[in-house]
A and B are shown apart, each in its own frame.
Chain A
């Protein structure tokens, strides 16, 4: 190989100053470090987005409350939604994908290491640009501050008339910048999985987490592109006199809705599919059985990927589409529940008859199964057009959505943290604190989001700043707000656990869970090159083969 090379001493790292270490992180192209940066970035914004949520819940806990002004409340729900989707959920998925996928497929790095770093920094700077709006969004008009148009920013709220200053500009420009980062990471992920698998790892021996990531990355390419295009169109509308979304000048506000939701609904699956990957790795290990129905799991994931691009207008039943349009999107929305249901049954089939170990990652995974089922059922309810007409824009929808995002995705992510933290840091997270975190979070989650359905059914619209007493909403809002505090405390315990365990936790060793995939064959944390020798695999459970030479999987696959 002809290349410029320089030698790096392993001891050099230990003697670096703080500035040198920071320089090392800023210039790294190592997928593991970039994965950790993604995760750290997402956790910081999880706390920021969480604080925004708690501000909203304090405001809504009592009728006629004025804890914050209506303007601040609008900024809080806009920034909370935008932050949690674009700067928490997506980066955390990319972070875990970045860290684990090369290890899972037995390679030394992502296919394009420099593009990987570039993509991360785009995401990070996009977030900084958007949050700069808190000080820079006033613009020349002295109006604005942070964006306040809601996370889906319906036209004409984003027009100059309704959004003077620069708040909406920071929203669209920040998302354009971070959107390019998402596209870069997805291209990298697909190339890595397609081209860099270790010898012997055919597609039907590939870990399900890698399968989920390749499907998710493909979806990102098709979903982020229309969003980025629409953000550019908003900017053209606002500054160059284009009228894409200006109804009075021949444009269409509904076109914006289509652009947004053709991104927005696949986005939910972009986030949930890697979560399926977490569950598909955790459940077999803690049930001591291989995944039930591997090929069907793969097929169902691919089916979800395709079908999810045909459901977007169920967010628009109240817009006034014709009956056939409504019926089509109702049926496709119900249809996406079929492959999803198949996956739930396969996880149950995996647990069925297993020697279940109720460690913290498994607890989060079991809660995921139950909660995601409920979230799916309320989704099926909302797919029915007449039902949707009654409840669209109510707190029922907010509750359903958060059941998916928190009850599904966030629980899976927490499971992933407890599962892979030992690999990333070399230390075990405290089981005692982990279980405390789990139970507090479960209680808080159900207090908040179970009871949030009820004010929705009683007619409470989403995004209202406050409400009059005597409508029967008070008690439910108080319960919901108390649940948010439980969740806040649980997250603080989780953060404390991570910090405490990093310094004081038990050593993890290479394979603390007695698992079967390749990341557990290397040290914890893995060296920069992952594997001294690139492994060769013969089955989908290479470590099982090594641990049970008398009964290896490769004889039967």
Chain B
């Protein structure tokens, strides 16, 4: 039944609604008995089948040739005016082009998080490779170790094998590094506006320490093999490198006005005529018939 149809169903007699019926419960009970009979007794299934047939016939007769209805008496009274406990609305002073906004008014754009993540990923990669060269004599050592986080072949490498190039490990490590860096960069973009004081201290120093500490305490239990191969000092240094660079890049980007109440298509730059009322202070849509 369409909305228009339903809307017209409120008449002097009341509102028309579907009539209650026992046939759905009959049909469901019959189906359950049909199934139960498979593991109890065939007679149970026969009874279930009979009930199902009865349920189907009854249901059809409920809706064919015409659907059965009841008329619910309804007094259409004047609608109670909507009331609010907070009639006063705090309005922020904004530029004219931003006629309305909700907190938070400004935010870092998504691109800030992406830039921060990419910059951080470069810083971290440089530090990790430096560790490989200085401490292990091979740039592939940290790369193979990173891939061992999810790629099960890499976890089986011995120390010497970790220092050689493996294409699969390299590809997996690149994917992990890039995705993780982008996600953490986006996280910084989302979090830093909520940390008005010393964002670099929190994002660049404290968060990496907490994260590294958590991993340090857990990895020995979870994956002792991997735990033995990680140099934790260099690990923490590379986390600092990421955090500080990503935090700096993000915090130097210009903030933008949040556009929460603007349709997604408009925010994406797609021209959609009629997607938004292009007027402020106009008459209500009921008055001018624009729906």
Contacts and interface: CB of A to CB of B under 8 A. Distances in A.
Given A29-B21, A293-B260, A532 B223 contact: no
A8 B277 CA distance: 44
Given A2-B66, A348-B194, A121 B25 contact: yes
B1 to A, nearest CB: 8
Contact of A26 (B25, B267, B291): B25
For the complex of A and B, the 4 pairs showing the least CB-CB separation, nearest first, are: A353-B103, A121-B28, A295-B264, A125-B32
B67 to A, nearest CB: 5
A289 B284 CA distance: 22
- Interface size class, chain A: 35 or more
B16 interface: yes
A471 interface: no
Contact of A292 (B73, B80, B87, B102): B102
Contact of B68 (A3, A129, A354, A551): A3
Interface in A336-362: 338, 341, 345, 348-349, 352-355
Given A3-B16, A126-B32, A198 B3 contact: yes
A532 B76 contact: yes
A200 to B, nearest CB: 6
Given A3-B67, A117-B24, A177-B35, A8 B73 contact: yes
A14 B276 CA distance: 48
Interface string B67-110: 11111111111011111111101010000000110111000000
B194 A352 contact: yes
A511 B100 CA distance: 26
B18 interface: yes
Contacts of A349: 104
Interface stretch (A168-176, A260-268, A413-421): A168-176
A293 B267 CA distance: 11
A126 B35 CA distance: 10
Contacts of B261: 290, 294, 553, 556-557
Contact of A457 (B28, B168, B221): B221
Interface string A74-94: 000000000000000000000
Interface in B25-80: 25, 27-29, 31-32, 35-36, 38-40, 59, 62-63, 66-77, 79-80
A118 B194 contact: no
A170 B39 contact: yes
Interface in A478-513: 510-511
A27 interface: yes
A28 interface: yes
Interface of B: 2-3, 5-7, 9-10, 13-25, 27-29, 31-32, 35-36, 38-40, 59, 62-63, 66-77, 79-87, 89, 91, 99-100, 102-104, 148-153, 155, 168, 172, 175, 179, 183, 187, 190, 194, 218, 221-223, 226, 258, 260-264, 267, 276-277, 279-282, 284-286, 291
Given A4-B66, A7-B13, A547-B83, A538 B32 contact: no
A521 to B, nearest CB: 7
Interface in A502-548: 510-511, 514, 521, 527-529, 532-534, 536, 538, 543, 546-548
A235 interface: yes
Given A3-B66, A29-B18, A532 B10 contact: yes
A534 B7 contact: yes
Nearest to B151: A327
B281 A555 contact: yes
A40 interface: no
Contacts of A458: 221
Contacts of B221: 457-458
10 contacts: A6-B19, A6-B68, A9-B73, A107-B6, A114-B59, A114-B62, A114-B63, A292-B258, A532-B15, A532-B74
Given A4-B69, A7-B73, A125-B32, A323 B151 contact: yes
Contact of B150 (A199, A386, A527): A386
A557 B276 contact: yes
Contacts of A1: 5, 9, 16
B89 A548 contact: yes
Contact of B291 (A113, A199, A295): A199
A1 B14 CA distance: 14
Given A7-B14, A292-B102, A29 B24 contact: yes
B72 A527 contact: yes
Given A295-B264, A527-B72, A330 B39 contact: no
Interface in A142-165: none
B25 A117 contact: yes
B32 A118 contact: no
Nearest to B277: A555
Nearest to A333: B150
A462 interface: no
A321 B147 CA distance: 17
A334 interface: yes
A468 B80 CA distance: 67
Contacts of B77: 532
Contacts of B24: 29, 114-115, 117-118, 121
A467 to B, nearest CB: 18
Given A1-B5, A8-B72, A527-B72, A390 B267 contact: no
A51 interface: no
B3 A534 contact: yes
A400 interface: no
A555 B264 contact: no
A352 B39 CA distance: 58
B194 A391 contact: no
A252 interface: no
Given A125-B32, A128-B32, A169-B39, A199 B152 contact: no
A2 B285 CA distance: 34
A390 B18 contact: no
A292 B103 CA distance: 9
Nearest to B8: A1
A250 interface: no
B222 A457 contact: yes
A5 interface: yes
A173 B38 contact: yes
A122 interface: yes
A536 B13 CA distance: 23
Nearest to B36: A129
B20 A24 contact: yes
A281 interface: no
A555 B261 CA distance: 10
Given A3-B67, A5-B71, A532-B76, A352 B28 contact: no
B264 A204 contact: yes
A9 B14 CA distance: 10
